[in-house]
Amino acid sequence: MDAGTAAVLGALAGSVATVGAALATGWAQREGARIAVRAEHRRERREPRLAAYKEFISVASAFRSESSPYTIPGLIPDDLEDEAADSISEAAAELKRSAMDVALAGPRRVSKDAIRIERLGNHLAISIRLFVHFAPQANAAIDEKLFQRMRRRGVVSLARKVNRAIDTFLLRAQAALDDDGSLGRR
C-alpha cells in the first residue's frame, strides 16, 4: 500500500470514528434526558399521592377505631342503638370520599385496595344497620340462631376484613411511594 492510500484510509477511519462517537454521545444524552424527565414525573406524581394516602389512612384509622368493637362478638351488645348505626354510617361515608382521591391518585393496586376498603366499610355499615333493625326485642319473635349468625358472619366477619384490608393498604401505599420505577411495572 502506498502512502497516499494509507493517508486516505486513515482519514476515513478517523471520520467514521468521529461520526460513531457523535452518534453514541447523542444517544447517551437522549437517554439521560429521558431518565431525568421520568424521574421528575415520578416526583410530581409522588407528592399528590402522599397527600391522598395520608388523608385516607387518617380516615381509615378513624373508621377502624369506630369498627374495632365489632371485631369481637362478645363486645357487640344485642341491643345496639340507632346512634351506633348512624355513627358507623357517617364514618363509612367519609371513607368513601377519601377513597375516591386515592383511586384517582393511583397506582392501580393501591386504588383497588382503597376501593375495597370503601366497599367493605359500606357493607359493614349496612350490616350494622340491619343488626340494629333486627335486634331481638321483648315483643319481637326472631330466631336467636339467625340473629347470632347475623352477628358473626355479617358484622364480625366484615369488621375483621376491613381491618385486614387497611393493613394491606398501608403496605401497598408504602411500596407505591418507595417505587422509583427501576423494577418495572407490577
Domain containing 170 equals: 48-178
Answer yes or no: are the C-beta atoms of 52 and 101 closer than 8 Å: yes
Per-residue cell: 148: 347470632
Asked whether the CA dihedral 119, 123, 124, 128 is positive or negative, the reply is: positive
Determine the longest span between alpha carbons in the chain, in angstroms.
119
Determine, yes or no, domain membership for 24. no
* HSE-up (13 A, CA, CB side) for residue 6: 3
User: What's the confidence (pLDDT) of residue 88?
Assistant: 94
Determine, yes or no, domain membership for 17. no
CA dihedral of 72, 74, 77, 78, whole degrees rounded to 10: 110
CATH number of the domain enclosing 117: 1.20.1420
Per-residue cell: 115: 376501593
Determine, yes or no, domain membership for 170. yes
Of the chain, the percentage scoring pLDDT greater than 70 comes to 80
- C-alpha distances out from residue 129 to 18, 23, 64, 76, 142, Å: 78, 70, 17, 13, 16
Q: How many CB atoms lie within 10 A of CB 55?
A: 14
User: What's the confidence (pLDDT) of residue 186?
Assistant: 44
Determine, yes or no, domain membership for 10. no
Read off the pLDDT of residues 149-175 as tens digits, 9 standing for 90 and up.
Answer: 677 777 888 999 999 999 999 999 999
Highest mean pLDDT among 29-38, 79-88, 101-110, 128-137 belongs to: 101-110
What is the number of domains present in the chain?
A: 1
Mean pLDDT of 132-144: 62
Highest mean pLDDT among 10-19, 112-121, 155-164 belongs to: 112-121
Determine, yes or no, domain membership for 27. no
User: What's the confidence (pLDDT) of residue 95?
Assistant: 95
